[in-house]
Amino acid sequence: MHSTPPHYSKLDHGVSIQACWQHSIRVLAHAGIDAASARQETSLLLQHVMRQSLTELLCNLQHRPSREQLMQLEECLTRRTQREPIQYILGYTYFCGRRFAVDTRVLIPRQESEVLIEVARDVCHWPPLSGTPLRLADIGTGSGAIAVTLACDLPTAHILGIDISREALQVARTNIERHSVSERVSLVQGNLASMVGVTFDMVVANLPYVHSKHLPHLSPEITRFEPHTALDGGSTGLSLIFRLLTQAPGLLRAGGWLLLEVGDTQAGDVVRNLAQQSHWGSIATATDVAGAQRVVAIQRSGGSVASTNAAPVT
Ligand SMILES: C[S@@+](CC[C@H](N)C(=O)[O-])C[C@H]1O[C@@H](n2cnc3c(N)ncnc32)[C@H](O)[C@@H]1O
């Protein structure tokens, strides 16, 4: 149950949508949310509570929400003033243009991870993979956003989503069903890929990569609400990624690809680690919109050489 913080008055029954709008922006700004976000989040919360589109709301500014709607808005505002992410309050977020259910059992999919999808699509659209049945694995699948997006975009792909968290897999299951890809996406609970006995054409992984000592300094939205098993990359930030690198050669067929999302300063360390191993052919990186190297793409040696638009690492 969420209690109302003392610093703002409750909405009186009979107030208009417009008054709710102004009230909500004030409350969110008072809680330290910047002005642009307060306006945008108010719009999302009102659409959610009133079950109306933005256009409908704007046409109905003088309408009066019901008592239940006012109570629901107050509860949403209280949760947000406690810095719960808006995505958890709404119960959804968008990733690569598709809507995904999210709650505190899973990390909220980030825009940075869309780079991983772009590289994966690139690799799968090149010969020799293009048009062939594909076996992919998504390690640390969380909400299933990556696995579901790949299944929707690559109709010949069968994808195995693995996560250590049983709770996260429940959310992934919901998303798989909502996007009607149950026949091509399976889920398994596991610690990285230790129990997987098959090989894949491609393995993608957005594993936790935050340095443990940096965790307490992230925003309250992250530290208080997002699952720490989805964030904590151990004492170097790269503990899980390096563990996966030791398993990866056995997970990929010759010529198969491993795509890793990494933190914005970690690609160099990952590439140096890979250079010490003998199993790998091409190594490339891809950058996010801010120019940070976000994805390391590595091809297992042997088999046909495919390509990606990611920049080769020499
Ligand atoms: C950064 S989140 C990524 C979630 C999702 N793939 C996304 O991009 O939104 C990392 C995920 O890895 C999972 N995870 C953490 N340690 C793991 C392990 N040892 N084996 C498998 N999954 C793990 C977490 O439970 C979490 O769901």
Q: What is the pLDDT of residue 310?
A: 60
Residue with the two structure tokens 């996260």: 168
Looking at the fold, whether 239 and 153 belong to one and the same domain comes out as: yes
Q: Is the pLDDT of residue 298 over 90?
A: yes
Q: Please tell me the residue having the least CA distance from ligand 1 atom 27.
A: 142
Return the H-helix or E-strand segment holding 163: strand 157-163
Q: Is 140 in the pocket of ligand 1 (CB under 6 A)?
A: yes
Looking at the fold, whether 71 and 113 belong to one and the same domain comes out as: no
42, 66, 82 — which closes off a domain? 82
Looking at the fold, whether 68 and 203 belong to one and the same domain comes out as: no
Looking at the fold, whether 41 and 144 belong to one and the same domain comes out as: no
Q: Is 161 in the pocket of ligand 1 (CB under 6 A)?
A: no
Tokens of 9: 């008055």
Q: What is the arithmetic mean of pLDDT over 162-191?
A: 98
Burial per residue of 176-199, b for 16 or more beta-carbon CB atoms within 10 angstroms, e otherwise: bebbebeebbebeeeebbeebeeb
Which pairing describes strands 157-163 and 185-189: parallel, antiparallel, or unpaired? Answer: parallel
3 state SS of 206: coil
165 DSSP 8-state letter = -
Q: Please tell me the residue having the least CA distance from ligand 1 atom 12.
A: 140
Q: Is 208 in the pocket of ligand 1 (CB under 6 A)?
A: yes
Closest C-alpha to 254, from 189, 305, 182, 211: 305
Does some domain include residue 102?
no
Q: Is 146 in the pocket of ligand 1 (CB under 6 A)?
A: yes
Instruction: Read off the pTM.
Output: 0.92
Looking at the fold, whether 129 and 168 belong to one and the same domain comes out as: yes
82, 99, 115 — which closes off a domain? 82
Tell how far the Cα of 206 is from the centroid of ligand 1, in angstroms: 7
Does some domain include residue 90?
no
Does some domain include residue 1?
no
117 falls in which pLDDT band (50, 70, 90)? very high
Q: Is 266 in the pocket of ligand 1 (CB under 6 A)?
A: no
Tell how far the Cα of 27 is from the centroid of ligand 1, in angstroms: 34
3 state SS of 84: coil
Looking at the fold, whether 78 and 165 belong to one and the same domain comes out as: no
Cβ pair 115, 95 in contact under 8 A: no
Q: Is 207 in the pocket of ligand 1 (CB under 6 A)?
A: yes
Distance CA 15, CA 19 (A): 6
Q: What is the pLDDT of residue 131?
A: 72
Size (the chain), residues: 314
How many structural domains comprise the chain? 2
Residue 41 neighbours by CB distance under 10 Å: 20
Q: What percentage of the chain exceeds 90 in pLDDT?
A: 83
Distance CA 255, CA 188 (A): 25
Does some domain include residue 205?
yes
Distance CA 216, CA 91 (A): 25
Does some domain include residue 223?
yes
Residue-averaged pLDDT of the chain: 92
26, 49, 82 — which closes off a domain? 82
CATH code for position 283: 3.40.50.150
Looking at the fold, whether 197 and 62 belong to one and the same domain comes out as: no
Tell how far the Cα of 230 is from the centroid of ligand 1, in angstroms: 5
Q: Is the pLDDT of residue 8 over 60?
A: no
Looking at the fold, whether 62 and 118 belong to one and the same domain comes out as: no
Tokens of 94: 């968008």
Does some domain include residue 269?
yes
The domain of 206 spans 107-312
Does some domain include residue 131?
yes
Q: What is the pLDDT of residue 204?
A: 98
Sign (positive/negative) of CA torsion 264, 268, 271, 276? Answer: negative
Closest C-alpha to 265, from 247, 239, 291: 291
Q: Please tell me the residue having the least CA distance from ligand 1 atom 13.
A: 140
DSSP 10-46: PPPTT--HHHHHHHHHHHHHHTT--HHHHHHHHHHHH
Q: Is 93 in the pocket of ligand 1 (CB under 6 A)?
A: no
Q: What is the arithmetic mean of pLDDT over 173-183?
A: 98
Looking at the fold, whether 289 and 156 belong to one and the same domain comes out as: yes
Q: Which of 124-128, 144-148, 246-250 has the highest mean pLDDT?
A: 144-148
Looking at the fold, whether 65 and 191 belong to one and the same domain comes out as: no
Tell how far the Cα of 85 is from the centroid of ligand 1, in angstroms: 19
Tell how far the Cα of 61 is from the centroid of ligand 1, in angstroms: 42
Does some domain include residue 245?
yes
Looking at the fold, whether 68 and 139 belong to one and the same domain comes out as: no
Q: What is the pLDDT of residue 200?
A: 96
Looking at the fold, whether 73 and 203 belong to one and the same domain comes out as: no
